[in-house]
Structure 1
Amino acid sequence: MASPSAVRDAGTSFIGGRIPMWMPVLLGFLTAVGPISTDIYLPAFPAMEQTFHTSAGNVQFTLSIWFVGLAIGQITVGPLSDRFGRRRPMLIGNALYAVASAVCAFAPDITTFSIARFVASVGASASLVIPTACVRDMVPDRNAGARMMSQLVMVMGVVPILAPMLGGLVVEFVSWRIIFWASAAYGAICVALILFVLPETLPYDRRVTLSPFTLVSRYVTLIRDRAFASHALITAFSTFMSFSYLTAAPFVFVQLFHFSPLHFSMLFGFFAVFMIGASQVNGLLVGRIDSGKLLLGAICLSVTGGILLVAVSLWSAWYAPPAWHPYEVWLVIAAMLLALAPTGIIFPNAMMGALADHPSLAGAASALAGTLQYVLGAVAGVLVGQFSAVSAIPMAGCMCCGAILMFLAGLLRPHRQNVN
């Protein structure tokens, strides 16, 4: 096995040249820390409520704490990676995540668990934001970058399929604490991969100084840039739509449509499979079709799905005769699929569009875009929770709203963008 210094020194040798085939797999594995930590412990909520002798609301609040930590962590770790390189902040972040996850595993009360969960989310934020910056470091061309991002999405996409099922099996047969011991092990594996395998992708001559003034001015520069702002908003509203689905889907399908937890997990995976498939179609088409056109086409499909979902939900709730009610669930699933599947195309193209004009600020740009995503994701969760859970209409309305806002942000995109 190569030494850490050897890996570090070899790190930039392939930039501008041939990228190893294992690099997207490695970056996708590292990025999956965030999604797996979000999804895998959701089935454990009732068991945690009993263990800690607390309310369901307090346990659910730990998910909000997780999102807050991710938002705060991303907006700080991105500029740090522009200053100190990609490997060091990601190494420290994953070590912090591993240790804090272990504390979650043996936490004696909900307060200790919540604090440890926040610390873990700050650490995990490094792996959410930095791999995207690594792609921008290695692949200056926007279309090639979108293709590589599609490969990352494929690796990341396996997580939403497996995580809820694995979490449910753990809760069914052993203690929920095993989930967090497994999370700690995952973090430790990531530390080893960063230390011995991941090369440094940001050369010393491209690193920038870091001070409070430069940090603020960097974000102001990005916000004022039309290309960055429009593409970052597209990724954020895409997350708003996805989190509306994540928040409301358990009620809609388990309580309203009477799915069993296992069948709901299978449906969860079904949607994820189509998102992964869309990302792979994107990888095949980018370069043959301009990534901006692919992005706009995918957004239009998502808007169509959102509008159909609202129409089906309203029709079923107010107008459909009783004989049609058994078919409602299939119409809802079909409309949701049309709305959600295109996100596999939207995310890689919008993210690379946000980073395309800012190679020296790739870490900060990725961080700001990621922070916007999780802020709007949290807003979606709160907003959906404000409505009475008596039909699929609140979920449909919020998902459609996110899709339409994506479309409006897409209209703000400049016609031309520098790609180097």
Structure 2
Amino acid sequence: MSRGRHVQLIVVLGSLIALGPLTIDMYLPAFPQLADELDASAASVQLTLTGMLGGLAFGQLVIGPLSDAFGRRRPLLAGLVVHALASLLCAVAPNIAVLSVVRVLQGFAGAAISVVALATVRDLFSGVAVARTMSRLMLVIGLAPIVAPSIGGFILQVTDWRGIFFVLAGAAVVLIGVALVGLRETLPVERRRSARVGATLRTYRSLLSDRTFVALVLVAGLSFSSLFVYVSGASFVLQEGFGLDARTFGLVFGANSAALTIASQLNPTLIRRFGPANVLTGAILVSMAAAVALLVAGLAGGGLVTVLVPLMVVLASAGLAMPNTPALALNRHGEAAGTASAMLGCVQFGVGALVAPLVGVLGSTTAAPMGAVMLTVTGLAALLMFAVVRRDPTVQAVR
């Protein structure tokens, strides 16, 4: 693939994937306003995030095999159309229950984008090239969470939280045009698989029989869940606990997202020297240490800086884990990239959906709940890395 074509692919796929972070992050500054207007608790508001993550998780299990059977473009375009419609429904939701339900539909539609992007990368690349491409994608993807809260804060100055969902609907419509013009089909007819239920179940059974693949999928989910613990809890900790206004919160959120993006761009250099498995292991251990520091700061009533620094380290570690985990996992099953991507995405967003509300349920505006949950998930990820993944010589051989 020529350099120009590669850059075009990165920009198109990155723009499409960016819709997910935009959908998640743009309305974060509106959490307190949304809670007041809909007379909802903090935990109920966070369930609107959980609903989307649940839709993303379940939707990928359905859409992944369909993308292996019918190609990448058709599921992608259908997902974008449904996302636009769901965003409009969110904008007119009369209460928190309806909003939570429609967010599930919005997440289901977003699943098509996540599956197709990962599967497309695996269609075109293999081995460490997948990690390098994913790292470059993170540069584009990273712009979305950097600007999303700021965009949300700006929208809140001219309208209310409903206006954010109208903007998301418009973004989905624009991306339909981007996909139609800029993304070719990458799965040839001769490589497509059967869409029948029996064939799909056999493919899933084959993936589940690969112990290392399953461990990597779980590591991906646990590592990714730290990011969503931050996303779901940051608004209440930083805005209510430390008194940041919506604009300042957006700037802080953007700085942390920048740390994730910068780390992801260092990843190609690091994996060239140390290999993706070693970089992933190091990222998990560093994230676990930062979670300990965050927990201590929360319990001791530390100041804003003692909270922001560990959070930035957690986000930077995610910037290293996010490209390498799918690269190692998908390298094992390129023949069923869509279904394998679906399992990765399902577990990532499924674990996130389960873990994210815990911060709100614990009912504290300190950083202690975030630190405790992050420490738990990163500790489990480290256990899987040392007990299963690093014991497989084929993982260490990926270069």
Counterpart residue type for residue 61 of structure 1: L
Measured after TM superposition, the shift of residue 103 of structure 1 is 3.2
Contiguous gaps of at least 5 residues in structure 1: 1-13, 318-324
Q: 1:217 to 1:403 in 2, by over 3 A?
A: same
Counterpart Cα distance in 1 of 2:49 and 2:305: 30
In our comparison, the structure showing a higher alpha carbon Rg is 1
Measured after TM superposition, the shift of residue 348 of structure 1 is 0.5
Counterpart Cα distance in 2 of 1:210 and 1:98: 26
Measured after TM superposition, the shift of residue 60 of structure 1 is 4.3
Counterpart of 1:124 (choices 110, 122, 135) is 110
Counterpart of 1:155 (choices 140, 163, 173) is 140
Does structure 2 conserve the Cα–Cα contact (< 8 Å) formed by 1:144 and 1:286?
A: no
Task: Determine helix, strand or coil for the equivalent of 2:153.
Answer: helix
Q: Deviations over 1:75-120 (max 9, x none)?
A: 1111110111111110111111112223333455656545543322
Q: Deviations over 1:145-179 (max 9, x none)?
A: 10000011111111111111111211221243332
1:416 aligns with 2:394: yes
1:329 aligns with 2:304: yes
Moved more, 205-214 or 331-340: 331-340
Q: Deviations over 1:393-418 (max 9, x none)?
A: 21111111121112112111122148
Q: 1:58 to 1:19 in 2, by over 3 A?
A: same
Name 1:369's counterpart in structure 2: 344
Name 1:81's counterpart in structure 2: 67
Task: Determine helix, strand or coil for the equivalent of 2:364.
Answer: coil
* Count of residue pairs brought into register by the alignment: 394
1:237 aligns with 2:222: yes
Task: Determine helix, strand or coil for the equivalent of 1:287.
Answer: helix
1:269 aligns with 2:254: yes
Name 1:41's counterpart in structure 2: 27
Name 2:297's counterpart in structure 1: 312
Measured after TM superposition, the shift of residue 35 of structure 1 is 1.2
Instruction: State the TM-score, normalizing by the size of structure 1.
Output: 0.87
Instruction: State the TM-score, normalizing by the size of structure 2.
Output: 0.91
Counterpart residue type for residue 55 of structure 1: A
Counterpart residue type for residue 319 of structure 2: G
**For residues 3-402 of structure 1, what are the structure 2 equivalents within 5 Å?**
14=1, 19-48=5-34, 54-56=39-41, 59-107=45-93, 113-140=99-126, 142-314=127-299, 316-317=300-301, 328-389=303-364, 391-402=366-377
Counterpart Cα distance in 1 of 2:267 and 2:260: 11
Counterpart Cα distance in 2 of 1:162 and 1:124: 19
Task: Answer 1 or 2: which has greater helix percent.
Answer: 2
Counterpart Cα distance in 1 of 2:166 and 2:240: 31
Measured after TM superposition, the shift of residue 263 of structure 1 is 2.1
Does structure 1 conserve the Cα–Cα contact (< 8 Å) formed by 2:29 and 2:250?
A: no
Counterpart residue type for residue 377 of structure 2: G
Moved more, 230-239 or 243-252: 243-252
Moved more, 242-251 or 267-276: 242-251
Moved more, 388-397 or 86-95: 388-397
Does structure 1 conserve the Cα–Cα contact (< 8 Å) formed by 2:28 and 2:235?
A: no
Counterpart residue type for residue 415 of structure 1: P
Measured after TM superposition, the shift of residue 18 of structure 1 is 8.3
Q: 1:22 to 1:284 in 2, by over 3 A?
A: farther
Contiguous gaps of at least 5 residues in structure 2: none
Counterpart Cα distance in 1 of 2:44 and 2:243: 26
Measured after TM superposition, the shift of residue 188 of structure 1 is 1.3
Counterpart Cα distance in 2 of 1:404 and 1:203: 41
Q: Deviations over 1:9-65 (max 9, x none)?
A: xxxxx59x98531111111111111111111123334555566x5534655433232
Counterpart Cα distance in 2 of 1:40 and 1:336: 19
Counterpart Cα distance in 2 of 1:152 and 1:95: 23
Counterpart Cα distance in 2 of 1:400 and 1:371: 22
Counterpart residue type for residue 140 of structure 2: V
Measured after TM superposition, the shift of residue 248 of structure 1 is 2.2
Counterpart residue type for residue 358 of structure 1: H
Counterpart Cα distance in 1 of 2:77 and 2:367: 42
Q: 1:382 to 1:100 in 2, by over 3 A?
A: closer
Counterpart Cα distance in 2 of 1:197 and 1:388: 46
Does structure 2 conserve the Cα–Cα contact (< 8 Å) formed by 1:65 and 1:117?
A: yes
Measured after TM superposition, the shift of residue 280 of structure 1 is 0.2
Does structure 1 conserve the Cα–Cα contact (< 8 Å) formed by 2:283 and 2:317?
A: yes
Does structure 1 conserve the Cα–Cα contact (< 8 Å) formed by 2:66 and 2:195?
A: yes
Does structure 1 conserve the Cα–Cα contact (< 8 Å) formed by 2:131 and 2:323?
A: yes
